[in-house]
Amino acid sequence: MTTSQAPPVQRVSATEAPRAAPAGGPAAPPTPPPRARRSPARRPRLPLTGPVRLVVSAVIAVAALAALCAAAVLGAVDVRGDASDLRTAVSQRAAVAAELRFALADLDAQRANSLVPGHSALQPDVEVGNRLLALITAQQRRTEVSGLLRQLGADPAQGDRVRSLLDALGRYDDASARSSYVDETQPNRPAGSPPHAAVALSSEAADVLRNQLLPVAAELSEAYAQQAAHLESETRDSANWSAGLVGVLGVLTLGFLLWWQRDLARRYQRVFNPALVAASVAALVVTLAGALSFASAASEVGAAGREGLRPWSRLAEARAVAADAAATQSRWLVHDTDSAGYQRERFDTLTRRLDVLLAPESYATTEERPAYQDVLTRYGHFRADDRKLRDLRAAGRLDEAVTVLTEVGRGQVAFDFWDFATTLDALADHQMSDFELHTGRARSALAGWPAVPAGALAAAAVLVLVGVRPRLAEYR
């Protein structure tokens, strides 16, 4: 047999044992080897080569500087705008509404006073009381009311209330004018005893004032006070939030710039990159200045509300309540016994409210307490005059009571109330000045913003690009 005729040799895999042939039968064919499992294909990882690493780092640095710039710029615009809105809401809205409330109450007081003077019961040729002063002051207050309503009418949000005030004011003027006309028909009447019809019409005018004019004016004043309080809280929160955001973004930006500086020094054997150092300094300055400026603005806004707005609001209300009490005092003198009792009760209620509003313990600073004490002293003079007025009327000495109520002199109601009201006005103006001072400081804390952070961080971004350019040039 030749080699070519030899039977083929059967090869068996080294990993597989051949099958045993069954007895008496032919040999079994070998089992095929198992297929090896392929591991899942791995995506090739792109190496972060030198140029790519530089470009990615530069993009991150510029993005971080842009985020810091946006936080500083937008925060400054927001806080400065809110501070301006707060100042406008108080000086052009809340203060005007409070002045309207006082002017209405004092207008009624002066018109009530105009019914008190007359001729002496003992000497008919002698006039008792100062009616001219009451008429002149009433005319001034009426002019003020018209001007204040014009200012408030510019606010469309309060248009309904202003229209309501104008309608009620027309009814009040009508009743007051008829009362004055009836009183003038008896020019020789005794002091303190106007015609019953004049007193009835005056009471009608007082009802319009107390039930319609003063409540709506109080609602208007309260609405603007709430708006001012909301703006104060919003401005303070915005400043605190901006301080925190600028601080956090600034720390992150500085951290990355310092890390990148170290990475460049290690990879390129450079001690430092001057452009990146300058960019880091700019970011540090903006971060520190921004956090401190925003925190200072928040503190000043809080002080404006605590030391200015809230004390002023109490004093503004006290002015209106005091004027209303003075009007009640005048009506009490000329009313009959039944109505006089109601007027006395209302006067006592108003003075109890004044005692609360003028108490300085809850909000006055140590430096302001002497001023509050001065107001309380003059308020005490007014209360002493009231007690004298009660005693004179109870004794039937009506001419003297009219003199105490309407003449101008120390120890008389007209003078001591004017003295008290003037001192109260001065203290309220002082509190308003404190408010304006602190809101001005809040805006001054961000003076130059947003131009300063925008310019500094834009320059820092340019410096980042300038600093990375020489390293990229080494790969050309």
Q: What is the pTM of this model?
A: 0.79
Q: What is the pLDDT of residue 265?
A: 78
Q: What is the pLDDT of residue 361?
A: 67
DSSP string, 374-417: HHHHHHHHHHHHHHHHHHHHHTT-HHHHHHHHHS-STTSHHHHH
Query: Distance from first CA to last CA of the chain, Å, rounded?
Result: 76
Q: What is the pLDDT of residue 15?
A: 44
DSSP state of 128: E
In terms of phi and psi (left: phi > 0; alpha: psi -120 to 50; beta: otherwise), the region of 190 is: beta
Alpha carbon distance 209, 173 (integer Å): 10
The stretches of 209-336 forming alpha helices (DSSP H) are 214-268, 274-304, 310-334
Question: Which H or E run contains 198?
Answer: helix 196-208
Contact 152, 220 (CB under 8 A): yes
Alpha carbon distance 220, 161 (integer Å): 7
Q: What is the pLDDT of residue 13?
A: 45
Q: What is the pLDDT of residue 23?
A: 47
DSSP state of 94: I
The token pair that represents 424 in the structure block: 């109260």
Split the chain (476 residues) into runs of 10 and give each run's mean pLDDT. Answer: 45 46 49 54 53 84 93 93 92 93 93 89 82 91 95 90 94 94 90 89 92 94 92 94 95 92 77 84 93 94 91 92 89 70 86 89 79 93 91 87 86 90 93 92 88 90 83 66
Residue with structure tokens 């002698």?
126
Q: What is the pLDDT of residue 216?
A: 95
DSSP H helix total and E strand total for the chain: 13, 2
